[in-house]
Structure 1
Amino acid sequence: MTRALPLLLLVLTACGSQGIEGVKTFTYPAGDHRSGSLIYAETPPAGGPHNATWQNCGVYDRPLYNEYAVHSLEHGAVWITYRPNLDAAQVATLRKLVEGRPYTLLSPYEGLDTPVAASAWGAQLKVDQADDSRLKAFLDKYEQGATAPERGASCSGAYGETR
């Protein structure tokens, strides 16, 4: 009996390490291309209908259209958004976080209920600080992650404009 307890704790610890505290998950069908302005259940969106053209991955100083960014999520991108009034040091921290990651979007976003949000297809994490370690964990798990219906599809060569 004393041997089973350490093994049980090891198994439970290993299972628990896969989750990221605070991540909410959603289920959306892929490939639902629509035109025009769309309404989403989450702010910012974490999946759903989207424009047939994807947003080019990269760092933006202006807000993006949801409809293009969601298509990038379908391709395996992670979209990190922040309140437009977030202080420059925190924005710099976010820029450094996404630096060198080809399947990320970074942009300001009006109306966030927290200072920073990270969204992937079917998953979202909202945090109060740009240096929250869960953001990197979210990127590591969801950038080109298993939840992306079209992971590996291009994240460049399409729409590069902002609002």
Structure 2
Amino acid sequence: MNRILLPALLLLTACAQGNPEIEGVQSFKYSGGDHRTGRLTYAQRPPVGGPHHPVWQNCGVYDRPLYDEHAVHSLEHGAVWITYQPGLDTGEVAKLREAVQGRPYTLLSPYEAQPSPIVLSAWNKQLTLTSASDPRIPAFIQKYEQGGEAPEIGAPCSGGYGETA
């Protein structure tokens, strides 16, 4: 093999192995920038991208459900949205609160009719979990908060909509 190609191939291989996909993460394909008003229907629950309200949801911890349309706009800005089924054990919710504490681009809220007790969503990515002790939670936040495929990384996650559904 050519002396120049071999080091380049090794570098590409090392880079690919340095950022492996988190086990169980599902991928989707949405592009950003589609702002609409009114209630929208999403293929995933909670949604991971697509059309959304022109005003984003303020990042933070909420004890009531959020409007999908505002939260999706926050995902477009590089936020991670952690949702949990209403009625999830209070100890589990406390662990989720700890996971997002001090993280400026995260949302935490209950979510009706989601497929598992806990769901982590970022733009075009989603992970369903059964326990707040799962070690993939900090890994997901680390990888996708202000990262991943979010079209508007660095756009605000405050100064937007702060109400609940």
TM over 0.5: yes
Q: What is the percentage of aligned positions where both structures have the same residue?
A: 63
SS at 2:83's partner residue?
A: strand
What's the counterpart of residue 131 of structure 1?
Answer: 133
Post-superposition offset of 1:19: 1.2
Post-superposition offset of 1:15: 2.1
How is 1:2-41 mapped onto 2 (pairs within 5 angstroms)?
Answer: 15=17, 18-41=20-43
Q: Matches of 1:113 and 1:153 in 2, distance apart?
A: 29
Q: Matches of 2:127 and 2:103 in 1, distance apart?
A: 18
User: What stretches of structure 1 of length at least 5 have no aligned partner?
Assistant: 1-7
Q: Matches of 1:17 and 1:73 in 2, distance apart?
A: 21
Q: Matches of 1:31 and 1:74 in 2, distance apart?
A: 8
Q: Matches of 1:161 and 1:131 in 2, distance apart?
A: 29
Moved over 3 A (4+): none
SS at 2:127's partner residue?
A: strand
Q: Pick one of 145, 155, 158 that aligns with 1:156.
A: 158
Q: Pick one of 61, 64, 67 that aligns with 1:65.
A: 67
SS at 1:150's partner residue?
A: coil
- 1:28-70 Cα shifts (integer Å, max 9, x gaps): 1110001110000111000000000000000000000000000
User: What stretches of structure 2 of length at least 5 have no aligned partner?
Assistant: 1-9
